[in-house]
Amino acid sequence: MSSDSDHNDDRHARFELRTLLDTSRMLIESHDLTFVLNNLLLISMGKLFSSKGTILLYDPTRKQYQIARNKGRTGLNDGQYLSLNLSEQLRSKSIIHCDKDNDGSLPEPFSGSTMCAMFNMQTSTRHIGYLCMGGKANRQPFAEHELNFIENLVNISAVAIANSQLVSELRSTNLQLDRRVQEMHTLFDLSKEFNANVDLEPILKIFKFALLGQMFIRSFFFIYDRKDADPQVVVQNGIKGHFSTDEVRQLLNVRQDVTRTSDSLRQRFPLLEDNGIEALIRLRLQDETALMGVGKRATNESYSEGDFNFLQSLGNLALLSVQKTYLLKERIENERLEEELSIARTIQRKLLPDPIPSIPGLQIAATNVSSYQVGGDYFDVLTRDSGTYIAIADVTGKGIPASLLMANLQAMLHVLTPTSESLSDATSRINDIIYKNTPSDKFISFFWSRYSHETRTLTYTNAGHNPPLLLRSGSGEADLLAEGGVLLGAMPSMIPYKSADVTLQKGDIVVMYTDGVTEALDETEEEYGEERLQKCLLCNASLSARDILNAILEDVKLFTGNRYSDDITIVVLKKN
């Protein structure tokens, strides 16, 4: 009896093996996805005596599963998309038994009685999907040899499905390539013509002749929307009338790549109706856009999707060439401006003291770092019979206007310092001159002082500037030099500026700075601040004036990641 049973098992195994070989040959040779899926599902249902089954194919673009084939009452519909957020443990299984393997991550209907087993379809390189089978019609459990058969069939089918998908993609790609090749020949010739010209007029002529000669379009317009400039119609043909500036702006609000003109659009823009404009084509290149309107073709042929693709490519070529002409003009202008700025920067640097005059009994170090090629920060050191004048200032704004105002301030200081008047009176005179001769939105924060090495006295006036830090060597306490008045240029000198005296002892340090130091920002938009500056000064108080200055600069540099958004000027004094 046992020999007959073994003999039957052998025959059954050989039959299943032959069935798998025949099926694999049939599936692998077929490149028809529908044929492969149908055979996989029907063979599986027949082998397992199941009345329902579903094939789920994974869509990597949507990261979901699509129901590719569905038979029986599964509660699912062909073409439907669903998500399977299976646990890592279930994803690693080749066969998921929906009853005993469910760890809670199986959704309905896979976690209930609808489906009995899920077979993982995968190749050596990627996951394809799942074959989901309902239970046997006789409600008996699946036999081990039945599961093995379906598992082998699924592995064979996964390769066939992957091949079918690849062939389908290749066919679609080849058809697209054939169309593109023809278009590219024409566009390549046109691109050579566009690239051979740098002037706007011949570029627009090439574009016009391409529309007239290649597409037989007699009525068209091309609107160029430049960044930081008003949009304009750069070329048109066969257009009766003119678009107003407001109409041009409204037309540019069309956001679709291709918009066929509708009745409502023609009502909003009668010029489209009057000139038979059939479509609007939006073009984009970096931050700049353009809009092309095309009328009916002389051949009376309607526009196909391929025609619009060609027109978009042609329009983008034209947009690139038009943009190139404007950029070339801007480059020439920028080079001229850069040359002028370089000269201005050289002149401005010469307005700063170089070398810095030495002061008996006092170390001094100073620097100016501009965030622009020219800036509005300023410092000066002037030696006169009455003492040594040290000044620092910050003009609102940046660039050339700030640098011009800085130069005026420098000239006034050099004129006024030889006089015997007090710092308070001289500051009032400077304020009145600036108030009368500068725009109302331009101000200067200003601090200056006169140091007498005989008395070791520093007399100062602060006109709305960041109060310099005075660090006493004995106590380590930091005082702020804030006595003075309002910003220069803010209002007439109705209230006299005040001045104050401080006597410097050995080791005392004075740090003057502009707000580019304390308002420097890190990547989280946090300011460097006065506390960090004071802490840096305390940590480096034993160093020389030059080393203290370098330590502050390095600390700000590390804090900001070497990104300066404003000019930085620092003057460090240290009493010997």
Q: Which CATH number do you get for residue 388? A: 3.60.40.10
Which pLDDT score is estimated for 139?
A: 86
Task: Tell me the pLDDT band of 192, cut-offs 50, 70 and 90.
Answer: confident
Which pLDDT score is estimated for 173?
A: 76
Cα–Cα distance, 283 to 408 (Å, whole number): 49
Cα–Cα distance, 112 to 128 (Å, whole number): 23
Compute, in degrees rounded to 10, the torsion defined by CA atoms 10, 12, 17, 21: 140
| Inside any domain, residue 106 | yes
Instruction: Give the dihedral sign, CA 524/527/531/536.
Output: positive
Which pLDDT score is estimated for 9?
A: 54
User: How distant is the alpha carbon of residue 181 from its chain centre?
Assistant: 33
For residue 363, what is the enclosing H or E element? strand 362-369
Q: End-to-end distance of the chain based on CA atoms, in angstroms?
A: 116
Same domain, 34 and 156: yes
Single out the residue of 199, 215, 234 nearest to residue 312, CA to CA.
215
Which pLDDT score is estimated for 1?
A: 46
Same domain, 162 and 206: no
User: How distant is the alpha carbon of residue 433 from its chain centre?
Assistant: 46
| Inside any domain, residue 119 | yes
Tens of pLDDT, residues 259-269: 999 999 999 99
Cα–Cα distance, 116 to 132 (Å, whole number): 8
| Inside any domain, residue 508 | yes
| Inside any domain, residue 175 | no
Q: Would you tell me how many other CB atoms lie within 10 Å of the CB of residue 184?
A: 14
- For a pLDDT cut of 70, what percent of the chain falls above it? 92
| Inside any domain, residue 39 | yes
For residue 39, which amino acid is it? N
Which pLDDT score is estimated for 224?
A: 93
For residue 289, what is the enclosing H or E element? strand 288-295
How many structural domains is the chain composed of? Answer: 3
Give the residues across from 295 on adjacent strands.
277
Mean pLDDT estimate for the chain: 87
Same domain, 501 and 400: yes
Which pLDDT score is estimated for 180?
A: 67
CB 204 within 8 A of CB 235: yes
pLDDT at 170 over 90: no
Which pLDDT score is estimated for 351?
A: 79
pLDDT at 107 over 50: yes
| Inside any domain, residue 454 | yes
Last residue of a domain, one of 168, 186, 209: 168
Same domain, 309 and 376: no
pLDDT at 363 over 60: yes
* 152: its two tokens: 């082998």
For residue 253, which amino acid is it? N
**Pick the residue with more confidence: 460 or 169?**
460
Q: What domain range is 421 assigned to?
A: 353-575
Give the residues across from 397 on adjacent strands.
none
pLDDT at 4 over 70: no
Cα–Cα distance, 200 to 210 (Å, whole number): 16
Query: Does the global pTM surpass 0.85?
Result: no
Instruction: Give the dihedral sign, CA 203/209/212/215.
Output: negative
Same domain, 440 and 564: yes
Cα–Cα distance, 76 to 72 (Å, whole number): 9
Which pLDDT score is estimated for 364?
A: 96
| Inside any domain, residue 181 | no
Same domain, 385 and 475: yes
Task: Tell me the pLDDT band of 372, cut-offs 50, 70 and 90.
Answer: low
Tens of pLDDT, residues 16-50: 666 666 666 777 677 788 888 998 999 899 889 99
Compute, in degrees rounded to 10, the torsion defined by CA atoms 103, 108, 109, 115: 0
Q: Interior CA angle at 214 toward 212 and 215, to 5°?
A: 70
Supply the CATH number for residue 6's domain. Answer: 3.30.450.40
Which pLDDT score is estimated for 182?
A: 67
Same domain, 314 and 367: no
Which pLDDT score is estimated for 127?
A: 94
Q: Would you tell me how many other CB atoms lie within 10 Å of the CB of residue 349?
A: 12
| Inside any domain, residue 185 | no
Mean pLDDT of 61-83: 91
Task: Tell me the pLDDT band of 193, cut-offs 50, 70 and 90.
Answer: confident
Angle between helix 305-351 and 200-214 (nearest 10): 170
Residues near 461 by Cβ (< 8 Å), separated by ≥ 6? 423, 424, 427, 447, 448, 449, 483, 484, 485, 497, 498, 499
Mean pLDDT of 131-138: 90
